[in-house]
Each structure stands twice: as C-alpha cells, then as structure tokens.
Structure 1
Amino acid sequence: MDQIARTSPIIFERAKLGPLELRNRTIKAATFEGRAPRGVVTDELIEFHREVAAGGVGMTTVAYLASSPEGRTDRHQIHLRSDAVAGLRKLTDAVHAEGAAVAAQIGHAGPVANAASNRAPALAPSAQLSPLSMRITRKASAKDLRRIVADHARGARFAIDSGFDSVEVHLGHNYLASSFLSPAINKRTDSYGGSLENRARFAREILRAVRDEVGSEIAVTAKLNMDDGVRGGLWLDESLQVAKWIEDDAALDALELTCGSSLKNPLYLFRGDAPLDDFAATMPQPQRAGLHAVGRHFFKEYPYSPLYLLDSARQFRAELEMPLILLGGIGDYDSMSTAMDEGFEFVAMARALLREPNLVRRIEADHERRSLCIHCNRCMPTIYSGTRCVLVADPA
C-alpha cells in the first residue's frame, strides 16, 4: 500500500460532488474564522478564503453561518439572511476567481450558543446548565424545531443566492442537531427523544428540508459525529445507524465524519497539545483563574497521530455506499493517498491550512512535502480574534 500511496495521482484529479465538479479531492474543513466582528462579511474574511483557494484546495468551507439569530455561537457571527447576501457574494466571487469551489457550513449552535452575547436563550433538547455560559438552556419546543428546520432550508436558499456551490449541514460537536442525537444531552420524552430513531428525527428533518429546497442546484453535505467523546454521549454504533438512515433518505451528496463536543470535550476532535495558558489569556478574571483550576477536566489532552480518525471512519466506509470525506491528521501526500486507497472520496484539512494556506499546491508539486503544523492547538484560542496559526509571523 505504501508504494500505491506514493504513486497514486487520484487526489489531484477532478472529482464529482453531487452536481458539482471539484478540481481535486481536497477540502478546506470548516474552522470558525473570527473575521466577522459585526456579523457581516469583512475584507479579512474574504482574503482568508481567497488565500486558501489560491493555495490549491478543491473547495473551501465558510464557517460557521448560522441558520437562525439565536443559533450563532455569539453575536459576532454571520447568520444567513437577505442583507448578508451581498457580502457573501463578494466572498464566493473571490474564491471562484482562484479556481476553487466554496461551501457554506450552515447550522444552529443550540447549547453551544452564547446566550448573553446573542441576547437570547440558548436552545437545547432539554433544559440544563451549560458548562460554557453557566446558564440554563431553554428546552426547544416543537414550534422552535419546526422554525429551525425551515430556517435551514431558507439559509440554504440564501447560500445559493450568495453564489455558494455547496452547503454543509452541521450535525456535529453537540451543536443543536448533534445535541439531539446525544443521550447525554437529550432527555426528552416526546417524538424527538428516547429511542435513537427519535433522537435522529430532527437531524433528518433538517437534511430533508435542505435537499427539498435546493434540489440539484448545489451539492449538499453534512458533518456528523462518529462519537461525542463524552460519557453517555453518542457512540459509534449509534452514529453508524444514523448514517445509514441518512443514506437511505438520499438527502446528501457526501458525509464528512467528525467527533467531539464543543460543549464538553473540544480537544477530542483536534488531538495534540492543550494550550491552557493561551486559552486563559483570552479570558477576564475570575474565569481565567477558574480555567487554571479546572481546565484540564474540560480541555483534555489526546495524543496526535496521522489519520487519527481513520480507524473509526473505516467502519462507516465498510457499511455505507455514499461518498465520504475523511478528516483528521491529513497533512501530506501519503495520508491523502491512503484515504483514497481506503475508499474515501475526499479529504478535509483544517489546522494544516491555517499553518500553510498553499499546502495543497506544495504537496502537488512535491510529494515528499509535509505539513509544518505541529498540532500545538494554539490556533484554537484565536477563534474570536481572527483564527490563525500563531507560529506564522504577522506580515504587518
């Protein structure tokens, strides 16, 4: 397989994603950019994605575009609405000019939303204390859920109006749809709680509504947790069944596999160092002191290794026919080609492209080239001040 990985050119061939054709099989994964301080597109946000597009990816993903005002992680974030379209159109035009496609990640933050910043209660399947805001979330009513499903469909239409080629529906990281899937968070006794089929109902309704809205005009993908990394949370066997139902629903062109909980265990997805000092430096007192006291319980550290989600993702590849996007520990030609040899149709990268936006072009030119990312995770505390690799010198 090593010899195949070093000689297979498939990663840089053109590839179909639903109705869309990408110039290669690499995708910039959604990483919140922190470049919309007034909830609108800025030149900095446009340049962030233009640079990645110029660097050779097949498609870049704009994160995170909230479907509803209260679904933002905080108010300094774009939510999809008519007066956001003009700015988003400038962004998509800039990406297209570099030869890449561009996706809009859409979703609702649910219990991960900052209620104080949004000036609206954070919604969740059940009322409970949020470890992020230290406020009680509000149980989403059936009326709330119908509205939010419709908001996703409306958001997908705004994405089309804005020139996006694809939408990625966020079903991961214990955002709202993901929190419904999690038995640790979802304590409902109605048709949206209890059994796995009930817990999956909301996510499936969202995907169906989005697909019904967009038809074949653009590609539709979703990001789904394989597991939450939280005691009592969604685990792989249940997630695989959800993925099978999603495949049967025929609402997606591809599924991206992820893991972890922004609400309770954020570093489970990222692997590598847990930079507590950097996180603490972004906080006022007394939160800073509190983080130093209990931060290791929240920011748990997991060792990094290449292709660290592959073992779990293989189980999905073995059971599903739909195209799959492999995320996690991809930073060189060998890891990309291994993903192709394992049957994954696309690879997604995040931190490696923060470190080197032109990494894809570098790897295409030199198959021995490896990402310079050291997985220190010091990019994570920068997400509300402009997500970036702190090891890259500021040209200013």
Structure 2
Amino acid sequence: MAAPDVFSPTTLGPVRLRNRTVKAATFEGRTPYGQVTDELVDYHLAPVRGGVGLTTVAYLAVAPEGRTHREVIVVGDDTLPGLARLADAVHAEGAAIAGQVGHAGPVANGRSNGVPAIAASRMPSPLSMQLVRPASEADLTRVTKAYVAASRTLVRAGFDVLELHMAHSYLISSFLAPGLNRRRDRWGGSLENRARLARQVARAVREEVGDEAAVTAKVSLSDGFKGGVTTDAGLEVARLLEADGHLDALQLSGGSSLMNPMYLFRGGTPVEEFAAAMPLPVRLGMRTPVGRGFMKSYDFTEAYFRDKALRFREELSIPLMLLGGITKLETMEQAMADGFQYVAMGRALLREPDLLNRLQAGRSVEGVCIHCNRCMPTIYAGPGTHCPVALEVTAGRDATLPQT
C-alpha cells in the first residue's frame, strides 16, 4: 500500500486534521502575566496560516509549582477565556489546536514561581539555587487531579488535543529516570513502579475527557544523560502506555531540559547568548567548565531521531509523531513511508511559518533554518521566542527596498 500524502487529511483519535503536520510545542515567551495575549494568538496563527494541521501551545501548567517560571500559564478558570479565544482563532483558520499539559517538576524555577519545586527525589536546582523537595503521596494525588482539572478546562476552552508532557526531565519524566528517582516506595525502583505516575495521569485524563478530545503524550527516545531514560527503557514505557489504551498517539522526543538540553536540539550551541539571557548566578555558572559541559554540542543531521524512532515504530502499533530536525519535504515523505502517522516540526516553522504552504505548493523542497539555535536564548530575553536570523535577514532586505 502506498504511503499517505503528508498533506492529506487524517484523524488523531476523535479529531479530524486537515493534514499530518504538527507544530511542536516550543516555549512562546508571550505570556508575561500568565495570560493569553494577542502576541500569543498571533504566534500560533502564523504557522496555522502557513499550512500546519495542528499547532501546540507549550507549557500549560497544571499547578503553580508546575510552571517553569512565573510567566507560564496555569490552566484554570481565570485563564479559560483567553485560552478559548486562542482556540477559536486557530479553528477559524481551519486548523486544530493542542495544549501541552504539564508539570515541570525539577525543571520549575521555585524562586521565580514563589512556590517550592517538586520532583521524584530531593535534588539541587541549578535554576533557582534551591533544593527541590521529593513529591509526597499527597502531592502526587493532588497533581493527578490537577492534570484532570486542567484537561477539562482545556476541553471547555475548545482545545482538540491534550498532549501530556512525559519527557525532558519534567515531573513525570523525573520519575521515569532512575538517576533522578531514588525512591524506595511504590513510585521508585522497578520500571513499572517508575512508570506508575505516567500511567496514572494518562488513565485519569482519558477517563475525564473520554472522546471529547484526543489525548497524546510526549515521551523520550533517550534522555541523553547517565541515569536518564534509555532507548530500551523508553520503549518499555511506551509499550506500557500503549497496552493501557488511554492514548491516541505518542510524540517521540529526547533530551533533558535539566541535564542535557542540546540532545534535543542539535546544531549550534549558543553558550554566550544563553549566559547573557540568564540571571547573574546562572550566567556565571554557565561560563565555568561545568556550565559549558551542560551545553553539550551535537552535530545537526536531518531527522536525527529517526533511527531510534524506527525501533518504536517496529515494535508498537499506536500512532506515532516523528520529531527532531525535520526541514525537508523528502524527510516528511520518508516518515510517511516508514509508517509514522504525523511529523512534528519546531525550529523550521519558527524560521519560516509559511514553510508548509510553500512545500505543498512546490515552491520549496526544504526549509532555510540553519540550526544555529540562537532562537533558544530568546525564550528568556524577550520579547518572545523568535528567530534572530529571520529578523536579520528581514532587516537586510528592508534596507535594500525603495523608500516610499
């Protein structure tokens, strides 16, 4: 049977998508007061008008201590009107909208949030220079209920897809990683115990929303650090999630926002730009040998997670989203031939929000993102996540245009 056209309509659980492309969750930096802004709406409308089938709103926290920092949206009654406005705007352009539902766990900046961060086990936070406390049984019950409440709110707001964040050393991921989870209770030790929170959250969310929305999870192909989730362990977690039957798809990611962020991004390593955007203590730390070791360097190759993802594709039947350095039409077509149901893109669409329209129309065969990763520090520096190269190119072009 011929592979499907990546630009043909499809379904994701109960949701109809106009094509098989996904704008992956990339922190927007456009919610300075923890509320939806016009700038956030415009940020998502750009790739939607550019042809993407599903756009994903990043870092929607289920609880105050689950924010990466204080500007992040906490899903609740007070943020519902703005979220509904965002969903309506996306739907008006013919696309679907996903909300990345998450608890940052040890990736949360407790000092910025004004609430202590929690994780699987006690650990120091390089972000807040505080100790992250181990989550109690009461915490885990509360957080699970918070996932349910946030998911219900997003469905009320009109969101089509709920993406449960289970990667990048966020709370659920911190339980999965043996190096971060040193517990001796029912949440630690064996992989089945360490996967208990992931499975509990997936089940609770599905039971709450039923078929009112698609439910997916972002999972790890490999965390990229000693003591993190390996590919073998990640595959076993995926098998457990598939067997439970609560999810409509898995998005395959990797790396750790806490331990090895560049494992996810590949390409340029903008250490100086990152250091300049950080608070002084973190800035000084990043300029030490230890800090520079945190920002490892990985060469960029097209679809750099494909080899690991193929193992998941061979052993699982659940629909999968391929992510990681996809910039070429032939890569997207190969993903369909490999049996992946969707392709997810981040930096390529940040550089060129209209890339998919041009690929579909035959005006381009690949994006122009140079994988310098200079977009990453703009998360912290403002006025919102953006591609500095695109701004520089635009400024150069504008300078050559006739003045009227």
What TM-score, normalized by structure 2, do the two folds share? 0.94
In structure 1, give the amino acid aligned to 2:142. Answer: R
- Measured after TM superposition, the shift of residue 284 of structure 1 is 4.0
- Measured after TM superposition, the shift of residue 221 of structure 1 is 0.5
Name the residue aligned to 1:315.
311
Verify the 8 A CA contact 1:332 1:367 in the aligned structure 2. Answer: no
2:212 is the counterpart of 1:217:
yes
- The secondary structure found in structure 2 opposite 1:167 is strand
- Where in structure 2 are there 5+ consecutive unaligned residues? 396-404
Verify the 8 A CA contact 1:224 1:255 in the aligned structure 2. Answer: yes
In structure 2, give the amino acid aligned to 1:354. Answer: L
Q: Which of these residues, 378, 386, 389, is aligned with residue 387 of structure 2?
A: 389
Instruction: Please give the residue correspondences for 1:255-294 in structure 2 after superposition, counting only pairs within 5 Å.
Output: 255-294=250-289
- The secondary structure found in structure 2 opposite 1:64 is strand
Verify the 8 A CA contact 2:14 2:213 in the aligned structure 1. Answer: yes
Name the residue aligned to 1:13.
8
Alpha carbons of structure 1 residues 285 and 338: separation in structure 2 relative to 1, 3 Å: same
Verify the 8 A CA contact 1:181 1:234 in the aligned structure 2. Answer: yes
Alpha carbons of structure 1 residues 33 and 183: separation in structure 2 relative to 1, 3 Å: same
- Where in structure 1 are there 5+ consecutive unaligned residues? none
Name the residue aligned to 2:87.
92
- The secondary structure found in structure 2 opposite 1:12 is coil
2:327 is the counterpart of 1:331:
yes
- Measured after TM superposition, the shift of residue 10 of structure 1 is 1.0
Name the residue aligned to 1:378.
374
Matched residue count? 390
Which deviates more from structure 2 when the two are superposed, residues 282-291 or residues 172-181?
282-291
CA deviation map 1:171-214 (0-9, x unaligned) = 00000000000001000000000000000000100000110010
- Measured after TM superposition, the shift of residue 286 of structure 1 is 4.5
Fraction of identical pairs, as percent = 55
2:147 is the counterpart of 1:152:
yes
What TM-score, normalized by structure 1, do the two folds share? 0.96
Instruction: Please give the residue correspondences for 1:1-396 in structure 2 after superposition, counting only pairs within 5 Å.
Output: 10-294=5-289, 295-366=291-362, 368-384=364-380, 385=382, 386-393=384-391
- The secondary structure found in structure 2 opposite 1:340 is helix
CA deviation map 1:23-67 (0-9, x unaligned) = 000000000101000000000000000111100000000001001
Once residues 272 and 354 of structure 1 are traced to their aligned partners in structure 2, the CA distance between those partners, rounded to angstroms, is: 15
Verify the 8 A CA contact 2:36 2:79 in the aligned structure 1. Answer: yes
- The secondary structure found in structure 1 opposite 2:250 is strand
- Measured after TM superposition, the shift of residue 368 of structure 1 is 4.6
- Measured after TM superposition, the shift of residue 285 of structure 1 is 3.2
- The secondary structure found in structure 1 opposite 2:287 is helix
In structure 1, give the amino acid aligned to 2:269. Answer: A
Once residues 239 and 279 of structure 2 are traced to their aligned partners in structure 1, the CA distance between those partners, rounded to angstroms, is: 45
Verify the 8 A CA contact 2:111 2:130 in the aligned structure 1. Answer: no
Verify the 8 A CA contact 1:131 1:264 in the aligned structure 2. Answer: no
RMSD: 1.3
In structure 2, give the amino acid aligned to 1:393. Answer: L
- Measured after TM superposition, the shift of residue 283 of structure 1 is 2.5
In structure 2, give the amino acid aligned to 1:314. Answer: L
Verify the 8 A CA contact 1:240 1:316 in the aligned structure 2. Answer: yes
CA deviation map 1:315-365 (0-9, x unaligned) = 100110010000011112100000000000000000000000011101001
Once residues 247 and 51 of structure 2 are traced to their aligned partners in structure 1, the CA distance between those partners, rounded to angstroms, is: 25
